[in-house]
Structure 1
């Protein structure tokens, strides 16, 4: 596909400096009055809808390369989770030679029922990164689930956890058998505790369960209420807690920085409750708009910038990992990639991975109350590595495109220049799957293969007196390299 050259010029006009947003870069993690979060080696991962997982691996060429691109940045394969609504429609069949067996009226549909065999787990076991597998609790057939769990443990060397049931708060509506009587947070908690013990005991593994997995917001459906019901026995089987989240809204609302900050703060008390137990908290399934995404929102560059900002703010708020969900192949507006085209959100996730790659700590340099954001990452010794700047002012593509200056202070006195890579597109509505130009540091990701194309481009900014100023257009981000 022919691609136009994307405008990458970095302006340093003195006239803009008077209105610059100023961020002081700490000389060391733990200083400067900022809060700091420890980082997982691979904080951004992918969630695959249960029935679609084999297709993503076997039939979608770009899957391995898209994941490998992040491994090349971090040195660690990104984590994956296999689950979703169809995990609670799935029954294990030890006799089937197929990965999955189901029928649908249209290829874009998700199956109402399905079976899966041992090869499903063997396929998951070929992945070099950590794997979370979601199994059926809704059908209330624990013997079948235990049989599947035993195969998962045997066939997946990098199995991180098993989750038992997906979004149980909806099971009454879904007419799941386990919720045929009274079903509320308390009865779900009792069910989770019972299944966690029985499955953990059956597979002979401690710290093997990903508990929670709700979508409704805490505290009603949250980790704190579940933890309060756990006895000593169940605690030894729970590795970490997960929640799901789909903020939704228009492109402009979604990508606006203060809105993103508020959407993450909803989980602060729940995260704190889990952290007090010494366990991790993750977004086990999340993306822009539920139900596979919204056509006018999820595939856009604005959603890409949201993906970037959202995953970084989640990490800063002590979310260990964020798994972005990928649904039905060919019917997934928020997917990062598909069979034939790339999705814009992949670019935002890639920029966030680039900021956190090899880092041990992250801080937010902004208060979260304006449209202008800054994040800084630090290595294991606390030395600053990179800063990401984000102008979340909305640009629709019509009229004049505003710009905002950002000044970084506290830079190394001996530094004379900094390199930077720009994440940019023509507007918030630009879509990679429709051939619109989106680039990160002058590069794009090729359709079908997910291989990087174009020439990697670094912009240069002068440093004087320990300061450097950058200009970002509305709806743009910039990754600044401090080393």
Structure 2
């Protein structure tokens, strides 16, 4: 029955970029990354819209705005860690986001919930509202994967969907007072755990606790997922390109998001997969960066659209195997576009 069909959104395929690597991808003030700019611009010319960029990931919860910082972004890494443990940025980041991207580029900006100090996201929002062109911001997102904050060390007990919901309401109420443009709304959720294992820390429960109604102007709700994992502690099936490319597995795996999509729709918001990729913990070589993975991505996003997902944000970081492209030199390898 084609009467219920709707056209594919031009920005169905979207991006998520690890906060600490955003300058690698977009370039510095006055010096755009030519590879990234050309790729984004080509997509806009072909499809009529550039991919929405979510700036976030784990390091979104380690980021602090300091207008007096002497670099656009200063990252502090621990040895052998691909994600910064501390990220400090100044207003130059917003200049980069204004000038180093195609004219119609928009972004979702992740605010720091992880470090449990409301002054951090308040200062970030003040910076965005003062320096980022109004048309560039699609939404704010407060926190990255808050449902696993006890595991990641961002919170101690008790931390559950009720305490999360209360903090979202309290903080976003303060944040809204700093927002000049009423079109700047919010994306809720960014939950890490797959729906079959979520329990009540779910979009449906967040909605039932009244968060969207109290906060207002919720444009979208999101979950995150990676069908396979390369994390040391992961208890998942062995990774293979053959398994990743299984159409049957893709259909079965993503069917669990039907309730999440329904939850977002029930509050007149879009459901988006806000961060995703083939294999968690930065991908797997010779799997995540292959043509086979690109074919899986096509199968994934088209099936996601039939389920009712509005966008699918594939995650990227300069040294990550599942990135769509490598914007700068990494370990002696030149910038490149991966098959994905």
Residue 185 (structure 2) aligns with: 208
Residue 216 (structure 2) aligns with: 236
> TM-score, normalised to structure 1's length?
0.61
1:343 equivalent in alignment to 2:338: yes
Contact 1:37 1:316 in 2 (8 A): no
Q: 2:211, 2:321 → 1: CA distance?
A: 42
Shift of 1:53: 0.3
Shift of 1:232: 7.2
1:198 equivalent in alignment to 2:174: yes
CA displacement 1:339-386 (0-9 Å, x = unmatched): 3222111xxxxxxxxxxxxxxxxxxxxxxxxxxxxxxxxxxxxxxxxx
Q: 1:290, 1:317 → 2: CA distance?
A: 23
Residue 146 (structure 2) aligns with: 168
Bigger helix share: 2
**Equivalences for residues 105-120 of structure 1 within 5 A:** 109-120=82-93
CA displacement 1:25-69 (0-9 Å, x = unmatched): x8xx41xxxx52453331111111001001111175421122222
Contact 1:37 1:317 in 2 (8 A): no
Of residues 70, 76, 81 in structure 1, which corresponds to 2:54? 81
**Equivalences for residues 427-438 of structure 1 within 5 A:** none
Shift of 1:196: 2.3
Residue 101 (structure 1) aligns with: 74
1:130 equivalent in alignment to 2:110: no
Q: 2:212, 2:111 → 1: CA distance?
A: 24
Contact 1:169 1:184 in 2 (8 A): yes
Q: 2:212, 2:269 → 1: CA distance?
A: 15
Shift of 1:247: 0.7
Structure 2 alignment gaps of length 5 or more: 229-238, 329-334
Shift of 1:141: 1.4
Residue 8 (structure 2) aligns with: 39
Contact 1:44 1:323 in 2 (8 A): yes
Residue 315 (structure 1) aligns with: 305
Q: 1:238 to 1:198 in 2, by over 3 A?
A: farther
Q: 2:212, 2:83 → 1: CA distance?
A: 39
Q: 1:120, 1:107 → 2: CA distance?
A: 26
Residue 325 (structure 1) aligns with: 315
Q: 1:38 to 1:110 in 2, by over 3 A?
A: same
Shift of 1:106: 5.8
RMSD of aligned alpha carbons: 2.1
Q: 2:106, 2:258 → 1: CA distance?
A: 25
Name segments (4+ residues, structure 1) moved above 4 Å.
105-108
**Equivalences for residues 220-369 of structure 1 within 5 A:** 220=199, 221-230=201-210, 234-248=214-228, 249-327=239-317, 329=318, 331-338=319-326, 339=328, 340-345=335-340
Residue 235 (structure 2) aligns with: none
Q: 3-state DSSP class of the match of 1:281?
A: strand
Q: 3-state DSSP class of the match of 1:203?
A: coil
Q: 1:308 to 1:231 in 2, by over 3 A?
A: closer
Q: 1:47 to 1:156 in 2, by over 3 A?
A: farther
Contact 1:200 1:237 in 2 (8 A): no
Shift of 1:224: 0.8
Q: Whose relative contact order is higher, 1 or 2, with alpha carbons under 8 Å and at least 6 apart?
A: 1
> TM-score, normalised to structure 2's length?
0.85
Q: 3-state DSSP class of the match of 1:173?
A: helix
Q: 3-state DSSP class of the match of 2:323?
A: coil
Which has the larger Rg? 1
Shift of 1:256: 1.1
**Equivalences for residues 413-452 of structure 1 within 5 A:** none
